[in-house]
Structure formats: C-alpha cells, structure tokens
Amino acid sequence: MILIDGKKVGNEIKAELAEKILPLKEAGKKVPGLVTILVGEDPASQVYVNMKSKACIKIGMLSKIEKLPAETTEEELLALVVSYNRNPDFHGILVQLPLPKHISEDKVIETISPEKDVDGFHPISTGNMVIGKDTYLPCTPFGVVELLKRYNIETKGKHVVVVGRSNIVGKPVANMMLQKKVGANAIVTVVHSAAKDISYFTKQADILIAAMGVPEFIKADMVKDGVVVIDVGTNRVDDPSTDKGYRLTGDVDFENVSKKASYITPVPGGVGPMTITMLLYNTYEAFLKIEKN
C-alpha cells in the first residue's frame, strides 16, 4: 500500500508557482492577486480564510481579506463583489461559504466575474467543466485529479466509483473523471443515499472516491483488493483521549481499508492540503489570462 501524500504534492505545486512569481516580483511587475471575502464570525471560516491568505503570501501573491459583519446586507456584499470584478490588482475573488441565511449564495456566486471565479463555482465555469472546455475547476475535485496524476495512477478505462453527489465534490469530480483527457477518461459511477446497497457499487471500484461526509462509512468488506482510495471526507469525531477532545477522520475506515488498498489518502494530510493549493493554481491561471487580455 502506498500512502498518497497531499501535503507533499501540495508543497511541490506551491514551489512551482513561487518559482514563476518570483521573477515578476523581483522586476517590480504585477503579481497574481486574490481577495477573500468573509461575512460573519464563523470560527472555521476564519481559520480557512487565514490559511488561504498565508498560503498566497508565502508564494509571493497579493492577498487581501475583506471581513464584513454578519448583518451585512446582500446588496452591500454584491456591491463589494462588483467592485473587485473591476479591480485590476485582483485576479481571483473568493467569497467564503457558508454565508448568513439572509444572503443568497447563488446570487453572490453568479455575481463574481467568471474570469475571476477561482473557486470554480460559477454556473458558466460549471457548464464549461461539464462540456470539457477550458475553465477554472473547483478546487477540491481538482486536487483529487491532480493527486491521481502526480502518483501516475492509471485512470483511462478504469471504473471510478464516486460516493456522494454534492455540488462541491461529488458531481464535479465525477464529471472531471469522465472527460476524454489525460488523468481522466474513466468509466464513472456515482452512488448515493438512494442506493439500496452502496457496497454493491463500491466493490466494483478500481478507484473509489469517498465524499459523503459520514465518518468511516467505507469498510474493508466494501472494497476489492488493490483498490485506489481517495478519501475526501473530513469529519470531527469526539475522542476524550486527545487534548482537543476530538480527532479528524475521513469517510473511510482507514485502518482496515488500507490493508486492501494499493493506494490510499490519509485524513488529515491527503486531499485537504490540495484544496488551497489548487486555489492558488487557479489564481495564477486567472492572472495569466487577465493580464494577457
């Protein structure tokens, strides 16, 4: 069994980006810029936003965090997004989700200019992804595909089973894996809670992508020998034996499934670090396209 190290791959990609940005900075030229907009005081969102900003700065990108109070109106938030659509110093706009209930997430996402949609959530980005056109891919599924590529795991003609159908991971990763492209070109099955027996499908997987948000749902008797397992789940489980009182676990019973797998991602340290990495990658690509135009 080979452990797929997302932290290592993420650091490699960030180093590649830093190498491209450094000459721009040294020459006093414009560098890629990302603005992250945070509405409210959600502790997890604050952590994510700070991590994204630090990652940007570390590789030489321009980073800005706009912190707004929870009572910010939808109109005020949309006006701020529009102002950054027009701001030439910022090539990526990310509005941290979830938003307060009085603000429509769909409306906010649709207001972000598609050319600055580095999260890959705009309907135009989603449509381009589905039909296989060049676009910004959503960061977590993009990270999954990149891990498979960087570990030289064959996907062409393989049976990929995706467990989960969220708009953030399940649906996009299924679409990405069936594209006629390098690192994809797979036969894809999406299985979810409506299935009478999920294990009937998971046992057929050459590559299993677990993204349902249920701690350790995938057991060893649900997979075949030699399976490649990509665990996207990050679940907080009570554990009084730890200092924090909890531990992080994936959607896969790692201890037992790893004994049957040929490759597997750990949680934490697998897919997680790739999400911010691919956000930086998308921001750099947006910079290239916008400055070229």
Which residues form the catalytic set? 52, 96, 119
281 within 8 A of 17, measured Cβ to Cβ: yes
Tokens of 220: 């060893």
**What is the DSSP track for 52-108?**
HHHHHHHTT-EEEEEEE-TT--HHHHHHHHHHHHS-TT-SEEEEPSSPPTTS-HHHH
- What's the residue count for the chain? 293
CA nearest 78: which of 47, 49, 50, 109? 109
Contact 208, 229 (CB under 8 A): yes
Name the DSSP letter for residue 218: B
Q: Which amino acid is at 3?
A: L
**Cα separations in angstroms, 142 against 48, 135, 280:** 18, 11, 12
Is the CB of residue 282 less than 8 Å from the CB of residue 92? yes
Q: What are the start-end ranges of the H helices in the chain?
A: 6-26, 43-58, 74-85, 105-111, 123-131, 139-150, 170-178, 198-202, 254-257, 272-292
The answer to whether 108 and 78 are in contact (CB under 8 A) is yes
Q: Is the CB of residue 222 less than 8 Å from the CB of residue 244? A: no
